[in-house]
A and B are shown apart, each in its own frame.
Chain A
């Protein structure tokens, strides 16, 4: 489900599945938590392959953000229309930093 690329200062996480929903959310939460153990707290999430996400999937990302703590940063790249709609309806587009692509996300979390 995930491809994880650890750079020196960033963890890039690429989601391969087309749906992040209640079917996959529990396993996804476990994998994400493992991905950020002893890793940089700057995270890039590439959602370009994700066509649909529900509030359970969104809750996994909220959990990840909380786990990173105050000095953590997450940028979300490649958000497709249905997923962007979810972020906007829940107003979490104000909490997560959403950008067009992975290079922009890298630049954003690097500050």
Chain B
């Protein structure tokens, strides 16, 4: 049986990191956009991937690190069988248990709280683990 990682497209994967700031998240988004262009990812899929990445990165900066900065966010972009996988890593406070299983839309007039719902809407599968080595969020987007 062939694992997804053995069926990668013929493009270079990306492994990078940024300072845990909103400006840093912008840099990760630029790396993703460049990779998508190289890999020939469709514009609708690219838009969803960018939004999911930015929302996830923002959550790490805002909630994981409490906007203190001074630490890093890691990003790996990998073409896998049937799609793209983004892996975000950090060493901040983890997403509270159960939060990923109870994602809903906030009230219409809410000014925040839409991040996780957007990540879910823009991707096809989410996995999250926390350990002593840090937190690891895996986002998979299927590509037709």
Contacts and interface: CB of A to CB of B under 8 A. Distances in A.
Interface of A: 19, 21-23, 52, 54-56, 58-60, 62-63, 65-66, 81-82, 85-86, 89-92, 95
Nearest to A85: B47
Nearest to B46: A82
Given A19-B26, A89-B122, A90-B118, A82 B51 contact: yes
Interface of B: 22-23, 25-26, 29, 43-44, 47-48, 50-51, 54-55, 58, 61-62, 105, 108-112, 114-115, 117-118, 121-122
Nearest to B29: A52
Contacts of B122: 89
A63 B111 contact: yes
25 contacts: A19-B26, A21-B22, A21-B58, A22-B58, A23-B22, A23-B23, A23-B26, A52-B29, A52-B51, A52-B54, A54-B51, A54-B54, A54-B55, A55-B55, A55-B112, A55-B118, A56-B58, A56-B112, A59-B112, A62-B108, A63-B111, A85-B51, A86-B118, A89-B118, A91-B108
Tell me if A's interface is mostly helix, strand, loop or mixed.
helix
Contact of B50 (A22, A63, A82, A91): A82
Given A22-B25, A23-B22, A90-B114, A66 B109 contact: yes
B26 to A, nearest CB: 6
A59 B111 contact: yes
Contact of B111 (A54, A62, A89, A95): A62
A91 B109 CA distance: 11
A85 B51 CA distance: 10
B105 A91 contact: yes
Which of A63, A85, A95 has most chain B Cβ within 10 Å?
A85
Nearest to A19: B26
A55 B114 contact: yes
Nearest to B23: A23
